[in-house]
Structure 1
Amino acid sequence: MKLSHYLLLYCLGFILAWQSAPAQIHAAQEQLPLHLFTYDKTLPLAYHDSLMDTQQGVRIYQIAYASPLKGQVTGLLFVPPGPGPFPGILLQHGAPGSALAQTPRGLYLARHGAVVLATNAPFAQRGGDPLQFTLADSVDQVRYIINLQRAVDLLLRRPDIDTSRLGYVGRSYSGSMGVLLAGIERRIKTYVLAVADGGFVSHFSSTTALTGDQLSLEGPARKRWLAAQLPIEPIRFIHRTPGAGLLLQSARQDEAVAAADAEALHRAAPAGTLIKWYDAGHRLNAQAYLDQLAWFHQQLGTRAAGPGDEQGPAFPAPPSAQKRP
């Protein structure tokens, strides 16, 4: 059965329960649909790469591997000089965004002694709007998490990686998706989740959404979308994340994530989670990236920040301001 058909049946059941028995659905929401994120780990990776560039001693490869749900996952791999073994870090982009746009961050981390894998989210590969406000959004979300678990399989199979030292860093959209991944994936030791909220439902809530981000769907379409998204809303999974291995970074002047949503995520996080606020907007500031280096140095044994790191990654000039989930 196709993933979209499976999710449709699941969500129809969710809607019926919601309409007919509110008390039962409240109880059902306590039961996480972990089965949606399982996949056949014996499938071949069909991995291939090609050297694209070398910068600051870091080799940059274009990569692709097979998704367990058919098709390919594409991205970039950053390999530092030397034989290793190195920590492995999964680096994910926001929405809209792409793996290629993560090149400055990939170099920044790889220069400190980590193999960095940046993959494209499903919307980045298909093109178009990241969100369609249909059942396709929940299908994409499940597909993304399965593809990220497969990315962990890839890292674990590399001989130059210390399999006990895996990390994840994501911002905005991939910060929220990192919450979901951390609630499912047990092989990653530590997570850095920057300017994240609780997920799409939290982000587009009519009571907390920033101006222009309110959910515009009405009637049955609204009910279908919410019923599909609520079971896999990342904040519902955060209690399963590794508290002492979790760093949440938020911005006081964030123009894309409401402070109330960030604070709700913080409150739901397990004991031991480190929470840091910055006097910055959604793009954060140099101190946030220095804190990420310090965190991975502590958690994974990467090299500490040094001279030349004070300005953070060498990002290009920002485009004209635009909201993104």
Structure 2
Amino acid sequence: MTPDRPGRFPVILFGHWMMAGSPLRNHTEFLEEAIVYARAGAVCLLLDTPLVREGVTEDPDFTHGQEPKAALQMAREWRRALDILLLRKDVDAQRVAYVGHSFSAGVGAKLAGVEKRIQSFVLMANTYSMLEFVFDEGNAELKAWRAKVGDAAIHAYLRQFPWDDSLPFVRHAAPAAVFLQNGLSDTDLPEATVRKSFEYFNGPKRLDFYDAGHALNSAARLDRAKWLQQRLGLKTLDLQGLQSIAQLK
């Protein structure tokens, strides 16, 4: 998606969530936002994650690593997309941002550590230390899951798919700026766990919480818009248009 006028424009990459049952568990999650940004003067790219593409079925056995394999593939696809985008004469390579929600926030956290062509990251509704998240004794749901599958299986999984833990990557996020957005009512992501993982990002960073669940809300949408506007040098942005977008479900 590109602006309708000549010039050199910033780039925004949008990575969607994969909430089961959501009609927007694909690139359309950010479609209306991207239209607003394109009108404001940004080149926007929206990709479907591998796990929501046609013909893909969910593997219920986490030890097979379907999700970390998909995350690795998605990170590669974003990097190849950048290779192509940055060849365009209408793209400003010094103004590149990534917006990722849930699964795609995890992908973005990994990109922050290795893809230095992206200078700004908005990471929504995730946490970034796998061990601290999974072995949180205060999370009753995860504690019950660990009792069912066994700690040995979890540690074997992490040895086989070490990149599924974002911690080694976020420690190398600098010099990129990172804006984390999380919901206070997100039962899967306790505030204390999120605050702890926020500490590991080593560059310019911001963490905001919202009166919302995993989908976040319009306040979060407006906050990231204002942050991106400043980071990308967008002169005008239709904040009313962004505010009118329906609540994600």
Indicate the residue corresponding to 1:114 in structure 2. Answer: 42
Distance 1:130 1:270 in 2: 35
**Where do 1:140-289 residues align within 5 Å?**
140-198=70-128, 203-205=133-135, 207=137, 209=139, 211=141, 214-215=145-146, 216-218=148-150, 221-242=153-174, 245-289=177-221
**Code of the aligned partner of 1:298:** Q
| Higher RCO (CA 8 Å, separation ≥ 6 residues) | 2
TM-score, normalisation: structure 2? 0.83
Deviation at 1:90, TM superposition (A): 0.5
Deviation at 1:185, TM superposition (A): 0.2
1:292 aligns with 2:220: no
CA RMSD, Structure 1 to Structure 2 (Å): 2.6
TM-score, normalisation: structure 1? 0.66
Structure 1 or 2: larger helix share?
2
Distance 1:98 1:160, change over 3 A: same
Distance 2:203 2:96 in 1: 21
Note the residue ranges of structure 1 that are not aligned, 5 or more in a row. Answer: 1-77, 319-325
Distance 2:141 2:209 in 1: 22
Q: Indicate the SS of the match to 1:105.
A: helix
**Code of the aligned partner of 2:101:** R
Give the aligned length: 240
Identity among equivalent positions (%) equals 26
Note the residue ranges of structure 2 that are not aligned, 5 or more in a row. Answer: 20-24
Deviates more, 1:220-229 or 1:143-152: 220-229
Is 1:210–1:256's contact at 8 Å kept on the other side of the alignment? no
Distance 1:207 1:195, change over 3 A: same
Distance 1:119 1:130 in 2: 22
Distance 2:6 2:140 in 1: 48
**Code of the aligned partner of 1:272:** P
Distance 1:144 1:199, change over 3 A: farther
Distance 1:141 1:156, change over 3 A: same
